[in-house]
Amino acid sequence: MKAMVLDHTNDVSTGPLRLHDRPIPVPQAGQVLVKIHVCGVCRTDLHVVEGELPDIPSPLIPGHQAVGTVTQVGSKASEIKEGDRVGIAWLQGTCGHCEFCTSGRENLCQQAKFTGYQVDGGYAEYAVVPARFAYPIPPIFSDEEAAPLLCAGIIGYRALRLSGIKPGQRLGLYGFGASAHIAIQIARHWGCQVYVSSLKREHQELARQLGAVWVGGATEMPPDKLHGSIIFAPAGELVPPALRALDRGGTLALAGIHMSPIPSLDYDRDVFGERVIRSVTANTRQDGVDLLRDAAAIPIKPHTVRFPLEQANRALQELKAGTFQGAAVLTM
């Protein structure tokens, strides 16, 4: 099979992914083999490729927003059958018995395995996944529409939940890439007023098209106090102004897996008034199930840009530069 393989982490400007011919993996007990149709390109992939996450194995096939068809089912994998269309997301395995797994917080399991980071992912023509971590894809979505939902969508959904935002309240979004452009559609469906801060003019325009009531620069103060906010950009310097924009009792959710250092905070100005900072760590399977159900009901319409598998480096370069709207997907 063809796969874009990371042999050594490096800046994406160097084109660190190389096209290789690899053996098609064989599903083990509890796993299924998926013929990949498309795979979304995520900012987390960028952090992996550039070595910003710890303990990256080598060689590695990145990618964790893959959609395809099951072509082989391993033993003890009764949840999925051949021919099913499924999605492969970030969380690919947990221990199942620690205090986090048994209390509905499997995203915090210290033995969790993550697709395209600790195990090979979806920048390839085939991938394996445990059947219980494969998501049935609602028929309303094309493969290309479904791919960004599997991380950008799921993490945006979890971030909305952790922000504590309620229908009718004011929500702030900082950074307006793949995840935020899905989160705004959910928030608007809930009846929230959405305020967007973003550097890129094209991202600001998309935010307006998707119903933002206010759009400003990255650190510009919105005209109204916000009940909850989410920072999607991996920029720690956004934390102080985002806290200052919150109303008393508001929550700021940090949705990235990696963020640059956060500057010092002034307690009276930035934090006092029971303002809350919460990080968002991966997702549970239930987050994925709930997101796909609600996304189909709304329905969410992701904005996507196609790249052939062989142009994965270019897709990551353009993601880093912020030159496209919405989400990039690799086509096989």
CATH number at 14 reads 3.90.180.10
Kindly state whether residues 292 and 260 are assigned to the same domain. no
Kindly state whether residues 143 and 14 are assigned to the same domain. yes
Kindly state whether residues 98 and 171 are assigned to the same domain. no
Kindly state whether residues 144 and 286 are assigned to the same domain. yes
Asked if 283 contacts 91 with a C-beta cutoff of 8 angstroms, the reply is: yes
Per-residue pLDDT tens digits for 198-242: 998 999 999 999 999 999 998 899 999 999 999 999 999 999 999
Residue 307 CA to residue 63 CA, distance in Å, equals 14
- Region 56-69: mean pLDDT is 97
Kindly state whether residues 101 and 218 are assigned to the same domain. no
Q: pTM of this prediction?
A: 0.92
The residue written with tokens 């051949």 in the block is: 82
Q: How many domains does the chain have?
A: 2
Kindly state whether residues 33 and 51 are assigned to the same domain. yes
Strand partners, 305: 328
Is the per-residue pLDDT at 24 higher than 90? yes
- Answer with the one of 279, 299, 320 that is the final residue of a domain: 279
Determine the pLDDT at residue 86: 98
Determine the pLDDT at residue 79: 84
- Answer with the one of 260, 279, 298 that is the final residue of a domain: 279
Kindly state whether residues 127 and 67 are assigned to the same domain. yes
Kindly state whether residues 268 and 209 are assigned to the same domain. yes
- Answer with the one of 279, 297, 315 that is the final residue of a domain: 279
Per-residue pLDDT tens digits for 181-200: 999 999 999 999 999 999 98
Residue 185 CA to residue 192 CA, distance in Å, equals 10
Asked if 160 contacts 184 with a C-beta cutoff of 8 angstroms, the reply is: no
Determine the pLDDT at residue 78: 83
Q: Following DSSP, what letter does each residue of 59-75 receive, concatenated?
A: SB-----EEEEEEEE-T
Q: Following DSSP, what letter does each residue of 7-66 receive, concatenated?
A: SS---GGG--EEEEE-PPP---TTEEEEEEEEEEE-HHHHHHHTT-SSS--SSB-----E
Is the per-residue pLDDT at 120 higher than 90? yes
**Domain extent at residue 83:** 2-150+282-331
Kindly state whether residues 30 and 145 are assigned to the same domain. yes
Per-residue pLDDT tens digits for 246-292: 999 999 999 989 999 999 999 999 999 999 999 999 999 999 999 99
Kindly state whether residues 274 and 288 are assigned to the same domain. no
- Region 61-81: mean pLDDT is 95
Kindly state whether residues 143 and 125 are assigned to the same domain. yes
Kindly state whether residues 254 and 195 are assigned to the same domain. yes
CATH number at 239 reads 3.40.50.720
